[in-house]
Structure 1
Amino acid sequence: MTVLIRGGTVVNADAEHRADVLCQGDKILQVGTDLQVPAGAEVVDAGGAYVMPGGIDPHTHMQLPFMGTVAADDFFSGTAAGLAGGTTSIIDFVIPDPQQSLMDAFRMWRGWAEKSAGDYSFHVAVTWWNDSVHKDMGTLVHEHGVNSFKHFMAYKNAIMADDEILVKSFQRSLELGAMPTVHAENGELVAMLQQQLLAQGIRGPEGHPLSRPPMVEAEAANRAIAIADVLGVPIYVVHVSCGEALDAITRARARGQRVYGEVLAGHLVVDESAYRDPDFARAAAHVMSPPFRSRENQAMLWRGLQGGNLHTTATDHCTFCAEQKAAGRDDFTKIPNGCGGVEERMAVLWDAGVNAGRLTPSEFVRVTSTNAAQLFNLYPRKGVIQPGADADIVVWDPKATKTLSVKTQHSKSDFNIFEGRQVTGVPRHTVSAGRWVWRNGDLRAEPGTGRYLKRPPFAPMFTALERFKQQHAPTAVAR
């Protein structure tokens, strides 16, 4: 298919300008003014609209088996919802059970993802350690294009990685040219606080944020950053939700350490009052970790995004319906953790960011697409409108409005954490790999059309010992 998108304002992370965009097959062929229309090409008028690279959500959990149930959105429904919202690529998570082979888990997730409607890739979690994990990490990097490994510092007695695992996995990531990522919450403290709250008779959803206060997140972020600093490996902190964890990232970056932060759209606009809703179903629908925080924390997260200490925006899309959440009706610790948002992320960020003067259009592109592409080595295939890049494009109407609601969403979830929020600025059209997948409100997603994205490793850096020897080598004296 050949498509000419004419008359829009092309927005990349570094600049915006009026230009036409010609796509042929699954690639962008030309970007320029007054491009000639090739024979047989479809011409689309983008007047009054922005033409931007498709969104990349670097943190989703489609079809995740978790806490005794399975997330409602599978890889088709979840990626299709993303396409409707302008997100054309996701990076999901392979999460092996303790003692499960990383390769066995990876093959299982790859099978589930074959039905994806949008492009996808994987982080792989390290939930235990022995020599086979060390070996599998190398196989994943060199043969399967995985360049990031996830570490849950929470969920004690399940998938939590202790300090020994962090040290060994971070070191192995360094050797391989991969980047460790961390879910930063002190699992020991969370487990203790949960039991104390239950003993006090606090059993409803309001107990969830009380068991995971900001300092629980900050301690873990500081610890993971310190371990990464000693080893000399870059680190990516997922779903930063509070000012204290952001402070840890900001301090480390000021010292020159390679630390990158991710913030969820939900954490920027939804606050902790949701857990005090007298309706159990509505309160439980907001249970995720880390929890939603105060408005003061939201203001700090926006500053972190504006100031460049938070780099990507994600959703942690992991949907559970009311019947599934009801497993924790009498014990908040049993409420499956997870919320949606893959469809709403970009509209929420545009409305609360660009329309509110917090972000420019180019900054919006940077935090919804380009930074993720660069951090996880998908750039310039993804994250930019330029010749040779994938034809993943959003024609964005900055004046169109929409009320976000479970009634109009494409996710299988029966709840929307942004319910009733009116946004200005939504996708008019979405192109994925050169195909129309969203056209004036018509979702044209097809199962199995998404492609698996291999992400090459980064150049391996010096190990901590080699770096120490370099820094402390005797200096030759000139004669």
Structure 2
Amino acid sequence: MKRIIIKNGQVVSPRSVEKCDILIEDEKIVEVAPEISVDGAEVMDASGKLVFPGFIDPHTHLDLTTGTCHTADDFKSGTLGAIAGGTTTILDFATQERGETLEEGLNHWFAMSEGVCSCDYGFHMAISDWNDTTRRELVDMRARGVSSFKFYMAYPSLRCDDRSIFEALEAIDAMGGLSCMHCENGDLVEALTAEQRELGHLTPAAHPLSRPGFVEAEAVDRYLAIAEAAGAPAYVVHLSTARGLSHCLAARDRGQQVLIETCPQYLALDDSCYTDDFESAKYVFAPPARKKVDQAALWQAITEDVVDTVGSDHCSFNMVGGKDAGMADFSQIPNGMPGVETRPLLMYTLGVATGRMTSGQMAALLSENPARIFGMYPRKGVIAPGSDADVVIWDPEARGTIHYADLYMNVDYNPYEGMATVGRADTVVLRGQVVVENGVVIQEDCGRYIPREACVAEHVGS
């Protein structure tokens, strides 16, 4: 039996930060106490460090093809980046293409991920073709550990109509699942994109004009109305606007269970990043970066425990051989940006280090809440006896600068290039195995598929 004791660290949870020792036996945490001593155990000194539960990224897109372009990161490079940054579990979006069964879509994602992941992983199932066969397959998905499902209100090849969403929400809720929604009005996006092109606006500066804030807000409001009709909880992915946030809060006031996810890009960037210079194609993602007032509203929501999770929405495309497909027309730039590796670093730098949030709130947003919501708690998301020994020893004194060439992600740029950072994941333990030391990955391909239980769609903020 392999034993490790992590000593003298400040163990972080949403409720406390306490100096404790952690005893790990093989893959599990067996004791958390002020002082632990076991003969023969390997001792790791975490003095001066924060000790977080392994971070969970509930929103990644790895090894994804758009039909014309493929992401720069597959499961090999994407999960290397994840674990290097302290993310010990990701939830990726397996996608049912039109005409496919859910089983075919899920099997494809299993084939891409098996044996090459450096962090643990699970799948949401993205449904693009709702029909009687899909309905029957929901039970099979639950049996294979998939308990959350994504729908799109935008993108012609993916989006579902309101009736299909309503029927699916009823069926998913009945089996202990949770719906997650990409909220943009697809018809408006297409009309506004065509309008920009007709005006001759073809540079990345037209991107936010083709997907303005009200396009998200309308879709959020409609999704919440559909969820209300279905009597089902709602999870809004990558919320970017103050107006969309207000719709979520109004629904909560009505008694609906509404879960809110945002992303670091909506907290770090604003729409001034879009210019006529094609270099700003680096910031073409959807929804786009918003106004400073939206950014401020989202930070306030984090401070007040209104937001439930922070995902990366990692969907990386190289500038060369990817985004440059849209050099003559912004609408041909593939939407997405890298983020799985830098998400914890950005949240600590921009949030904890500035006083916008506490380390406990970071543990809630990046660890415990996604574990609870998506059916992995208490196996994941907490440092407690019986939990998987997924631990991040975080150095709050570290200082650095983001350079894409220094990262494990396989992308030829980084949207935060040159940003000064505070803190870093110094040591990462995945199910009892030290996989990162001094910020360097020392063990690869150690990840396992994590089947999930029923989702828990309860907002637990203040």
TM-score grouping bracket, smaller chain normalisation: over 0.9
The structural deviation recorded for 1:459 is 8.6
The structural deviation recorded for 1:14 is 1.4
> In the TM superposition, what are the counterparts of 1:298-313 in structure 2 within 5 Å?
298-313=295-310
Structure-1 separation of matches of 2:457 and 2:26:
35
Report the secondary structure of 2:73's partner residue.
Answer: coil
Equivalent residues, number: 455
- 1:408 aligned residue (395, 406, 409): 406
> In the TM superposition, what are the counterparts of 1:32-47 in structure 2 within 5 Å?
32-39=33-40, 41-47=41-47
> In the TM superposition, what are the counterparts of 1:256-275 in structure 2 within 5 Å?
256-275=255-274
CA deviations over 1:51-96 (Å, ceiling 9, x no partner): 1101100000010111412111111111110111111100000111
> What residue in structure 2 maps to residue 29 of structure 1?
30
Instruction: Give the 3 Å change call, closer, same or farther, for CA 326–45 of structure 1 in structure 2.
Output: same
The structural deviation recorded for 1:309 is 2.3
Structure-2 separation of matches of 1:82 and 1:459:
25
Instruction: Give the 3 Å change call, closer, same or farther, for CA 341–153 of structure 1 in structure 2.
Output: same
> In the TM superposition, what are the counterparts of 1:340-419 in structure 2 within 5 Å?
340-419=338-417
Letter in 2 for 1:392: D
CA deviations over 1:159-189 (Å, ceiling 9, x no partner): 1111122111111112211000100000000
Structure-2 separation of matches of 1:430 and 1:216:
40
- 2:454 aligned residue (434, 457, 474): 457
> In the TM superposition, what are the counterparts of 1:31-430 in structure 2 within 5 Å?
31-39=32-40, 41-114=41-114, 115-141=116-142, 143-156=143-156, 158-276=157-275, 278=277, 280=278, 282-322=279-319, 323-430=321-428
Bigger Rg, which one: 1
CA deviations over 1:130-170 (Å, ceiling 9, x no partner): 111011112101x11111110011112x1111112211111
Structure-2 separation of matches of 1:277 and 1:113:
38
Letter in 1 for 2:265: G
**Aligned Cα RMSD in Å?**
1.4
Report the secondary structure of 1:137's partner residue.
Answer: helix
Identity of aligned residues (%): 39
Letter in 2 for 1:134: R
> What residue in structure 2 maps to residue 14 of structure 1?
15
CA deviations over 1:333-356 (Å, ceiling 9, x no partner): 111111011111111101111111
Structure 1 residue ranges (4+ consecutive) displaced by more than 6 angstroms after TM superposition: none
Report the secondary structure of 1:58's partner residue.
Answer: strand
Report the secondary structure of 1:9's partner residue.
Answer: strand
Report the secondary structure of 1:412's partner residue.
Answer: coil
Letter in 2 for 1:312: T
Report the secondary structure of 2:381's partner residue.
Answer: coil
Letter in 1 for 2:154: A
Contact 2:51 2:392 in 1 (8 A): yes
Unaligned 5+ residue runs, structure 2? none
Structure-2 separation of matches of 1:24 and 1:427:
22
CA deviations over 1:315-370 (Å, ceiling 9, x no partner): 11011001211111111111111101111111110111111111111111001111
Structure-2 separation of matches of 1:58 and 1:460:
14
Contact 2:54 2:86 in 1 (8 A): yes
The structural deviation recorded for 1:99 is 1.4
The structural deviation recorded for 1:205 is 1.0
Contact 1:67 1:334 in 2 (8 A): no
TM-score normalised by L of structure 1: 0.93
Unaligned 5+ residue runs, structure 1? 462-479
Structure-2 separation of matches of 1:294 and 1:61:
25
TM-score normalised by L of structure 2: 0.96
Contact 1:4 1:22 in 2 (8 A): yes
Contact 1:58 1:314 in 2 (8 A): yes
Structure-2 separation of matches of 1:135 and 1:460:
23
Report the secondary structure of 1:385's partner residue.
Answer: coil
- 1:444 aligned residue (442, 445, 450): 442
The structural deviation recorded for 1:277 is 5.7
Contact 2:166 2:229 in 1 (8 A): no
Contact 2:372 2:456 in 1 (8 A): no
The structural deviation recorded for 1:102 is 0.9
